[in-house]
Structure 1
Amino acid sequence: MMATKTLLNPTKMFGEIPGVDVGHQFYSRAEMVVVGVHSHWLNGIDYVGKGHGKKEEYKGYTMPLAVSIVISGIYEDDLDNLEEVVYTGQGGNNLLGDKRQVSDQVMLRGNLALKNNMLQSVPVRVTRGHACSSSYTGKVYTYDGLYKVSQYWAEKGVSGFTVFKYRLKRIVGQPALTTSQVHFYRAHAPESLSQLRGLVCEDISGGQENIQIPASNLVDNPPIAPMGYVYRKSIQVAKGVTLPTTATGCNCKGACIDPRICACAQLNGSDFPYVSKDGGRLIEAKAVVFECGPKCGCGPSCVNRTSQHGLKYRLEVFRTPNKGWAVRSWDFIPSGAPICEYTGTLMRTNDLDNISGNEFIFEIDCLQTMKGLDGREKRPGVLPLPTSSHLEINDDKKTESFAEYCIDAGTTGGVARFINHSCEPNLFVQCVLSSHHDIKLARIMLFAADNIPPLQELTYDYGYVLDSVMHPDGKIKVMPCYCGAKECRKRLY
């Protein structure tokens, strides 16, 4: 692409790169070169050299000047506290993987560039690299915004050689760092509970999930664990609610392979909604996904049972300063991967004692989503069903405007109850039918809407319409939104 002059931003520029927001992830240094975030696939400092000083776009600057740095734990003297970085200059490193200095650094090239950034108050882009087994390069790089160089000095490093140090402070007013409350050891997510700062509970599921879900709290003093609920990994059915009869399944054996003969694939528009990559990933958000169920001939390894396999990623519940509890993953999550099911007590919406005072109510509005009602984005999936009995939908006006059933996770529920709202979420809600085909009682699953790097908070759009929530006295209830998204609506409802 360099040879054919097809790079997106071939000219080195100071400040933000159009279209690259805080939290944007890349899976190789080459991808960063193509976009123009960082034009070197090896050097940690990307700078404009003295030879470019006469160009019009750099008029008024003294060169060299740095435009970007990558923090990947290459140097043994690096210190990263996220909002503030002590960055080691370039040179004198043996590049053999043990991070040791073998000679003195000199005040030239990138080192001189960072010094000039401080003298001329020019910000520098900062990108952090993390190990990632799911990436084709073994790493994922996350753009963390603009930093200013506030100080520099020379000192003897750990190995006895002179190194240059640069103190960089993150410029205020930018979107919050997705890693702002996690202690890093050379930029890695915790590898065990012993590395997690603020641990208040080793497993909030109490062993119910196949992977522990720890909770951490660096906000409260003294720190407290999540309380006021009972963890349940599966749906509890309230009195008076009867689940439909188990649906007739497919006749496939072992696994569903041929969509032409699989009855469940026929319900999904004559195709399978998942691909088998990474243990099963949803191809696209759909009006409803029909999975294989109890009466199907296929086994538990069938890809069309993807959402039924439980947790696949190491999740952590953590305390935030203004949003209560939140959830993040220690692992890289690929787009389309299932995260978790929203569980709680399945009940009739009319039976709720006080919906306005319960922030953990999830209305099963799959029918309304299918029809694109009340501002919902209509999804693909007008399904070519053999007969109307395969999808039990009541088309009366009351059902269209009102979700008959809901899931109450206020006093009992799973990890999904801690996932916060965002106006620009990285998860999406998907209705799934497996044991029966009544859309009003569909399972609610959360899937990854994009590739999600480790330690980024998991969020989905709660879908409230502004001015739609009322106090018991009839007045409109207002809740501010603290999601921090660039296009935040400022109100949850």
Structure 2
Amino acid sequence: MDPVHSPSSIDKTRVMDVKPLRSLKPIFPYPNQGLILVQAPPSGPFPSGYTPFYPFVSPPPPPQPPVAPTPLRTPESSGVINRDVKPPVDASGGSERRKRGRPPKSSQKTNVVEKRSWRSEASIPINHNFVVPVSLAQQEDGNREVVDLIMTGYDGLRRRLCQLDDTGAISRGLAKRADLKASNMMMTTGFRTNIKRRIGAIPGVEVGDIFYFRIELCVLGIHAPSMAGIDYMNLRGESEEDFVALSIVSSGYYDDDDEDENVLIYSGQGGGPTVMDKQASDQKLVRGNLALQRSVRRGNEVRVVRGIKDGVNLNTKVYMYDGLYTVQDSWMQKGKSDTNIFKYKLVRVPGQPSVYGIWKSVEKWKEGVSSPAGLVLPDLTSGTEGIPVTLVNDVDNEKGPSYFTYFPSLRYFEPYMQGSHTCKCQNSCNPGDPNCSCNQTNKGDFPYTGNSILVSRKPMLYECGPSCQCYPGCKNRVSQTGLKLRLEVFKTKDRGWGLRSWDHIRAGTFICEYAGEVIDKASLKQKLQEGGGNEYIFDTSRVLEPFRWNEMGLLLKGSSDDPSQDEVYNIPSPLVISAKSFGNVARFMNHCCYPNVFWQPVMYEDNNQSYLHIAFFAMRHIPPLTELTYDYGVVSNDDDINNNFRKRKCFCGSSKCRGFFGL
């Protein structure tokens, strides 16, 4: 039998007799102290004098006499630069200037150089008047609303920093990654939650939540170390008997076995090549390894985060919170490098939702190894879309929705308005290009990041169209490239047909547009009076529950004082779309009072005529097979179209359900 699954034959005395070294405790920001942002490879070594736990701080410096801050100027504004964020430091403790081989300046001239330079991490323009929308109590203990706020805020800030980096508006510094810059800013301002160290579940974090950066786990208090795979704490004193494991991240760096969705064989940490010796060494029973060993005896619950390869970009991972496990056994065995490594058997606590099993099932569906239960049609679009859309019903015997013609876009019978913008860019439009008229129409901001993620909601978003001279693959044509996600139309238990995705969806990802026939208000009123119904009507004049997707823009210097005004849609005249006879997958998206999708008006030009489209984007990170929903809104009070259709009972079941929605 495989020794991994049958450890009884292993001599466990080797594990128990090893004497631990002094542990490293997670160190969090000191009050009113800045953070020093450093980078290190995933396997170490970490710079001397710094802890491998986020936010990588050194011991507090000795008190200094107060010095009046000197305003620094950034390339894009004359605002005061955040002086709490120190310049990047390399592994040897020197500045970036020293790392490049230049001699360090004398201490008397350091401040002069700093005043003239904006090429440091300190040039991130933090707005010090920003009011953190999280109370001190919520920083200690979160809830679902706070977790969603921080997740949305963090990713919004990261996207905005990516946008500024792409245009060269802020310096890149040593740490070029926007995810680290965003987390640095949020940690500095205290925009975080669940900072209280605890065993077991994290308030507001749900099993199945997904993350695209390890640092998100730190901001939410799920897993404190940004690099180490084991998070632990000392319960009482310095004795090794008081160590306990809090969480692990299984990222596949070691030889972890995760074939069983309820059992994880986890490899200990350490044992890799050191700086002085490239030869791999045996793992030692210290720090996290020791904490996991002690958790075998204690039987405490350990949070497990699984790192899964991104199906789109194989060089990156998606991190999924898989819930609580208990450590039931441990032993030592030979690894691939012929060194001794620790193995730990973790078993999932019963009664939790199955999430990792769903990921494994979806992988098999994509590979054609198996099919989802209740499969009705492998492709609802009959080849109209470049990616098939599956039709599934495992609830009842209904064979499919009422007949309609699948159509991937809008059918305009006349232009929405006369053309107003085209660009003359060669090849593709570039962020920050002052000569691109489409950039200027978007107030100088390129609307998407380099991987086609929407940066922020806009009153109106302008894309390049067929009349523009840039080539069809331009990055400013995201909503015109068709479906990129593996979507599925499925039968819900109480709300008819719905829409979900086999793929995980990142916040800001384009999902689809609302396709159908563009009609006027008079035609809609006539159809309703004739009893035609309005189940598949999209009306831009509907009143939506207000929400802020761009709120974290306030943390950046020079942002609007009221970013919510940047999210109020500016549509010259109402657009009404009927998808009853012609439409695409958007017609199956159900209403929710707390949705995970929002719509964005998008305008582009064709033959000197401008056409308005409705594009749907992910509001938050969405795990696979999660239903996609958006807010239908309610009919405005001045709308005289058949009051009988103003309200419908809502069955969304969310914590913010208002009990009805408009149709």
TM-score category (smaller protein): 0.5 to 0.7
Corresponding residue for residue 192 of structure 1: 367
Where 1:170 maps in the other structure, the secondary structure is coil
Structure 1 residue 322, shift from structure 2 partner: 3.6
2:450 corresponds to = 277
Residue of structure 1 equivalent to 2:351: 170
Give the SS at the match of 1:110.
helix
1:287, 1:301 → 2: CA distance? 25
Partners of 2:544 and 2:634 within 8 A in 1: no
The structural deviation recorded for 1:248 is 5.4
Please state how far the C-alpha of 1:409 moved relative to its aligned partner.
Answer: 1.7
Q: What is the match of residue 208 of structure 1?
A: 384
Equivalent residue runs for 1:83-162 within 5 Å? 85-88=262-265, 109-110=291-292, 113=295, 116-117=298-299, 124-132=302-310, 138-145=316-323, 147=324
Cα pair distance change 1:359/1:67, threshold 3 Å: farther
Distance 1:447 1:463, change over 3 A: same
Match of 2:247 among 58, 68, 88: 68
- Amino acid paired to 2:384: Q
Q: Is residue 308 from structure 1 mapped to residue 480 from structure 2 by the alignment?
A: yes
Residue 407 of structure 1: which of 568, 574, 577 is its match?
A: 577
SS at the partner of 2:468?
coil
Query: What is the SS of the residue equivalent to 2:605?
Result: coil
Q: Could you report, residue by residue, the CA deviation over 1:159-198 in whole angstroms, capped at 9, with x for unpaired residues?
A: xxx9856352235xxxx77x5993625x857433443422
Match of 2:404 in 1: 229
Task: Compute the displacement of 1:342 (Å).
Answer: 0.5
Residue 38 of structure 1: how far off its partner (Å) = 2.6
Task: Give, as a single letter, the amino acid of the residue that structure 2 aligns with 1:25.
Answer: I
Question: Partner residue of 1:430?
Answer: 600
Alignment partner of 1:191: what SS?
Answer: helix
Distance in 2 of aligned mates of 1:38 and 1:276: 28
Q: Which amino acid aligns with 2:586?
A: A
What is the CA–CA distance in structure 2 between the aligned matches of 1:364 and 1:488, rounded to whole Å? 21
Equivalent residue number for residue 479 of structure 1: 649
> Residue 320 of structure 2 aligns to a residue in which SS?
strand
Deviation at 1:442, TM superposition (A): 2.3
Residue 418 of structure 1 aligns with which residue? 588
* 2:618 corresponds to 1:448: yes
In the alignment, structure 1 segments of 5+ residues that lack a partner are 56-61, 96-106, 156-161, 384-390, 395-402
Q: Look up the match of 2:260.
A: 79
Q: Which residue number corresponds to residue 399 of structure 1?
A: none
Alpha-carbon shift at residue 204 of structure 1 (Å)? 1.2
In the alignment, what sits opposite 2:492? 320
Deviations 1:198-255 (A, max 9, x none): 23221111111122222333x3255744553321112235xxx533466255250434
RMSD across aligned positions (CA): 5.0
- Which structure: greater strand fraction? 1
Gaps of 5+ in 2: 1-54, 60-183, 273-288, 332-342, 548-563
Once the two structures are TM-superposed, the CA of residue 445 in structure 1 deviates from its matched residue by 0.7
Q: Which of 465, 469, 479 lines up with 1:297 in the alignment?
A: 469
State the match for 1:102 in structure 2.
Answer: none
The match for 1:380 among 542, 547, 566 is 566
Distance change (3 Å), C-alpha of 1:154 and 1:250: closer
Contact 2:453/2:509 (CA < 8 Å) preserved in 1?
A: yes
CA deviations 1:306-327 (Å, max 9, x no partner) are 3212122332333433444333
Task: Specify which of 186, 193, 198 is matched with residue 13 of structure 1.
Answer: 198
Does the 8 A contact of 1:215 with 1:318 survive in 2?
yes
Aligned partners of 2:250 and 2:266 also within 8 Å: no
How many residues were matched structurally?
429
CA contact (8 A) 2:209 2:321 kept: yes
| Most deviating of 311-320 and 409-418 | 311-320
Q: Is the 8 A contact 2:422 2:468 kept in 1?
A: yes
Higher Cα radius of gyration:
2
Q: What code does the residue aligned with 1:206 have?
A: S
- For residues 389-422 of structure 1, give each alpha carbon's deviation from its aligned partner in whole angstroms, at most 9, with x where no partner exists: xx9946xxxxxxxx4x411223331111222333
- Amino acid of the residue matched to residue 235 of structure 2? H
The aligned amino acid for 2:321 is: Y
Separation in 1, partners of 2:490, 2:356: 11
Which residue of 1 is the match for residue 628 of structure 2?
A: 458
Structure 1 equivalent of residue 162 of structure 2: none
Say if 2:423 and 2:438, in contact at 8 Å, map to a contact too: no
The TM-score with structure 2 as length reference comes to: 0.52
